[in-house]
Structure 1
Amino acid sequence: MHRFLKWFSALLILIVIIGGGWFWLQHQSGSKSTQQKRPIVLKTVRVVGVGDSLTQGIGYDHDHSGYLPILKQQLSQTYYVKPQTANYGIGGERSDQIDHRVQTNQKLRRSLRRADVIALTAGGNDLLQSLEKNIMVNSDAQMTQKMAPLKTEYQQKLTQLVADVHEVNPRAQVYLFGIYNPVYVYFTNATMISSSVDQWNQVNQKVAESQSRTHFVNVNSTLSHGQYQSASAQAKLKTENRQSDQAFVDPEKVEQLLKTQDSKEKNAYLSTEDHFHPNKKGYNVMATKLSQAIQNNVNWRKR
């Protein structure tokens, strides 16, 4: 009888263990199934664009869409996020004018405070006005001398702009675009323009590197050279343009080009309307470059 009770107790314990294990497995399976069926909650990320015409979107089929809608689509495809974008671009503004809005425009400041990502375009109009002041310069040495104080002044203004953006929102990542040479493919040998663009880009990069949570987005080579990206293609351009341009271009020739509205544009990334601003393909370059820079600084869940 005693042996029977021991045997029965052991059997009962075994049944309890097996039953408990089965119940546990079923519970785990059910939990996993529930987890798999549970929808992923999309993280809302707010992207605010501030700046000049490159933020506004001028040149893109007159709809002023620019790069922000393209960036929004790219982020949605890459991450489990719900991007919200706001565009505060105004064509023709210099860096100090953009900064004035950052300091005084309450709607813009409210938008900046809520932003996760802030993208800036600045410098193109500063450079354009600086070149206009020196249209009669006809040597590299003289141009360097004339542009040096203007470059220093621009760096001070841009530094203040980025600092004021960070003051409004210290936690956001700020991405500062570089500028490009819109007439490179027509005046390939015009070192005066290309050199000035390079110097302004150096300022943008230096300012970005000098401030925390700020990143430089370089679009110069792609948008300036367009489809002529290889060394051989650029060499061919220089040969083709040798008769029509020199190191120091007559500003009237540049002005005439920019005023010409036709269906032809030698640079596949720029608008046929003004030969200056990006077309849809060009703004796609800006969005892609910015998206790649964002990927290096966020930990959003990827799809």
Structure 2
Amino acid sequence: MGEFSMKKKILMIYLPILVILIGLGYFWYHWQTNATIQRATPRQAAKVAKVSAVNFVALGDSLTEGIGDDKNEQGYSGRIAQKVKQTYGVSVTMQNFGLAGDRSDQIRKRLNQNGNIQVAVQHANAIILTVGGNDLQQLLLQNMFSKTPEDLTKTVVRGKQAYQGKLTSLFSDIRRLNAQAPIFIFGNYNPLFVHFPKRTDFNQDVMLFNAVNQKVARHDKASYYVGTFDLTYGQYQTKADRERLVEEFDKSDLGNADFKDIQAVLEDKNNVSNQWISTIDNYHPNHIGYNYMATQLFEYLRKEQVTWLTKH
């Protein structure tokens, strides 16, 4: 009886230690595997992760739908799917649920009402999102007749709080369906800059809404903001280029960005163009612009490859 009691005491002492050691071993192995995947080249990473197929889901507005893509490659979504397939040596399923004109609340409404979107999100390795451009556009158009650019920007400052609430709700609904997959959220750009380079307040307005995208992504912890603001400048990427553009603008009679001038730009009645933007509407990216978006996105996918190279 004494010997049994002694063995029982020993077991009670060492069993918890054994469980802890097994747990530590598991976490160490998991950490080491993730560290290896993160450091590895794309094909090596996929091999270590034992992943041969990934599911990407693209949600959002016209930028996700691929409006303006003169090469008909489904905007950034088709390009990134092909890039990941070629670079990682995995098969890629890209489900694109972009819809032109959608604001953040409308994207959320479709998510909550469409079972196909919900199933796709549940099984996604990564979720890609374009949002905010139409929220901002609605706000600007509703207040286009503000007396000064400063008054217009004040309206944007007030409006961004409501947008943040809507975007946070959209993220919450995505996370309800998929708590693990990383979300890559694009920023927006000012398509009117090359036509009205002196209206820098438009740039500021876009940046205010982009800051909301960044903030919500940071708060989510497993989301990443992908900047696209260089689409604003197109071929005028340097400060010197933009200064020359302003000089050309001063010599022209292109207007001062009142409602009539903006309408003329969108109807292609203006002879200045952004070479990264479609000349059909002077608003959406063309193939150069979508190549840029895909390149920006791939940099983040590569950097955070351990987050989406997972089995489902």
Q: Which range, TM-score by smaller chain?
A: 0.7 to 0.9
Whether the 8 Å contact between 1:42 and 1:80 is mirrored in structure 2 is no
Q: Aligned partner of 1:239: which letter?
A: E
Q: Aligned partner of 2:176: which letter?
A: E
SS at match of 1:234: helix
Whether the 8 Å contact between 1:54 and 1:121 is mirrored in structure 2 is yes
Distance 1:135 1:279, change over 3 A: same
C-alpha distance in 1 between matches for 2:51 and 2:89: 5
Distance 1:146 1:161, change over 3 A: same
Distance 1:207 1:42, change over 3 A: closer
TM-score with structure 2 length normalisation? 0.78
Q: 1:266 aligns with which of 262, 273, 279?
A: 273
Q: 1:169 aligns with which of 178, 181, 185?
A: 178
Distance 1:87 1:261, change over 3 A: farther
C-alpha distance in 1 between matches for 2:254 and 2:208: 21
Q: Aligned partner of 1:278: which letter?
A: P
Unaligned 5+ segments in structure 2 are 1-46
Whether the 8 Å contact between 2:140 and 2:152 is mirrored in structure 1 is no
Compute the RMSD of aligned alpha carbons: 2.1
Superposition pairs for residues 53-64 of structure 1, below 5 Å? 53-61=62-70, 63=72
SS at match of 1:67: helix
Query: What are the Cα deviations for residues 25-71 of structure 1, in whole angstroms up to 9, with x where unaligned?
Result: xxxxxxxxxxxxxxx77610111100000000111138471111110
Are 1:76 and 2:85 counterparts? yes
Whether the 8 Å contact between 2:55 and 2:94 is mirrored in structure 1 is yes
Q: 2:289 aligns with which of 257, 260, 282?
A: 282
Are 1:132 and 2:141 counterparts? yes
C-alpha distance in 2 between matches for 1:110 and 1:83: 17
Are 1:153 and 2:162 counterparts? yes
Q: Aligned partner of 1:224: which letter?
A: T
Q: 1:211 aligns with which of 212, 220, 223?
A: 220
Percent same amino acid at aligned positions? 35
C-alpha distance in 1 between matches for 2:71 and 2:254: 30
Deviation of the 1:140 alpha carbon: 4.2
Query: What are the Cα deviations for residues 85-127 of structure 1, in whole angstroms up to 9, with x where unaligned?
Result: 0100000010000011111210000011110010000011101
Whether the 8 Å contact between 1:68 and 1:85 is mirrored in structure 2 is yes
SS at match of 1:119: strand
Deviation of the 1:149 alpha carbon: 2.3
Q: Aligned partner of 1:231: which letter?
A: K
TM-score with structure 1 length normalisation? 0.80
Q: Aligned partner of 1:206: which letter?
A: K
Higher mean displacement: 280-289 or 59-68:
59-68
Q: 1:235 aligns with which of 216, 239, 243?
A: 243
Structure number with the higher helix fraction is 2
Report which of the two structures shows the higher radius of gyration computed on alpha carbons: 1
C-alpha distance in 1 between matches for 2:214 and 2:64: 18
Deviation of the 1:293 alpha carbon: 0.7
Unaligned 5+ segments in structure 1 are 1-39
Residue of structure 1 equivalent to 2:302: 295
Q: Give aligned pairs, total.
A: 259
C-alpha distance in 1 between matches for 2:260 and 2:128: 34
Deviation of the 1:277 alpha carbon: 0.5
